[in-house]
Amino acid sequence: MEKIYDIAIIGAGPAGLNASLYASRYGLKNVIVGGVPGGLTSQIHQIGNWLGSPDIAGFDFVKQTTNHVKKYDTEMINCLVDEIRKEGDNQFIVFLSNGLKLKAKTVLIATGSKHRKLGVSGEKEFLGKGVSYCATCDGFFYRDKVVGIIGGSDSAVSAAVFLGDIASKIYLIYRGEQLRAENFWIKAAEKNPKIEIIFNTNITEFRGEEKLTEVILDNSHQGVNNLKIDGVFVEIGFIPNTELIKDLEIELDEEGLIKIENDGRTSLTGVWAAGDITTGSNKFKQIITAASEGAVATNSILAYLRK
């Protein structure tokens, strides 16, 4: 008999993992499909606001949560999804990038988001040659070197604090007049003499030959419009990963987020969404809100399948 899952969970971040945990405990046959276990959470160097686990590294958090889910013998497929197709009223086909396909009664979209890019000259050319989107992944390449971080939110300021133990000098470059990060991170950054904050400034160009050597600023800093620099980490926010659902005609908001009801339902019957990709939780993008949305959505799916 062909295997049909109760839920196909697309995405292996906190939303997808917690959804699977609840589904398994409900006795629902579920499968998680995701390219990277933990999603962007694995790139966070320190998580300090997960209740009960202060100061846990993102990598360790992902390991713990993934092992928790695997305790229930959940099927996890490390693979990308090419397409989701609705077949009739009560079934979906999930086409995987490895050529296989899955069938499920319901689908939970938890694909999260991806790093937003600056879109300026040289950014693409110097990717991996001085331009990065993950301080935790690439920070060790810049020991005792000069780096820049673009952004003013939690991800940017926490990256500056992280690199404060590695680099010789960190420029935190932000277009606004004041940082938008948690007070905890702002205070930590201000205490480190290696970190210099440059406000009201954008990077307009990356320059170098074989690798990045300087950036051009739209406002002068100490009398010049360029900074000699070895590497730059772009931390200016995220874009929802909704390319996968474009053919399903699921309703999105003006920011490209999936519109959901309080229980995680989307505009397409049989499809739920959870985590950073949704309009839920007042658009408060946190690990805990993603995990809770996964739990709420699974509870709603349970009620739907019991009808």
CA torsion sign for 126, 131, 133, 136 is positive
Query: Do 5-115+238-306 and 131-234 show the same overall fold?
Result: yes
- Which residue is it, tokens 């399903």? 248
**pTM (two decimals):** 0.86
Q: Which of 134, 154, 230, 276 is catalytic?
A: 134
The yes/no answer on whether domain 5-115+238-306 falls in CATH 3.50.50.60 is yes
137 is catalytic: yes
* pLDDT in the model for residue 242: 93
For residue 289, give the nearest of 299, 298, 300, 278 by alpha carbon.
Answer: 278
* pLDDT in the model for residue 1: 57
CA torsion sign for 55, 60, 64, 66 is positive
Query: What are the domain boundaries of the chain?
Result: 5-115+238-306, 131-234
Rounded Cα gap, residues 218 and 130, in angstroms: 20
Q: CATH topology for 131-234?
A: FAD/NAD(P)-binding domain (3.50.50)
Q: Which residues of the chain have pLDDT under 70?
A: 1
Specify the amino acid at residue 217. Answer: L
Rounded Cα gap, residues 139 and 170, in angstroms: 12
138 is catalytic: yes
79 is catalytic: no
Q: Which of 82, 137, 218, 247 is catalytic?
A: 137
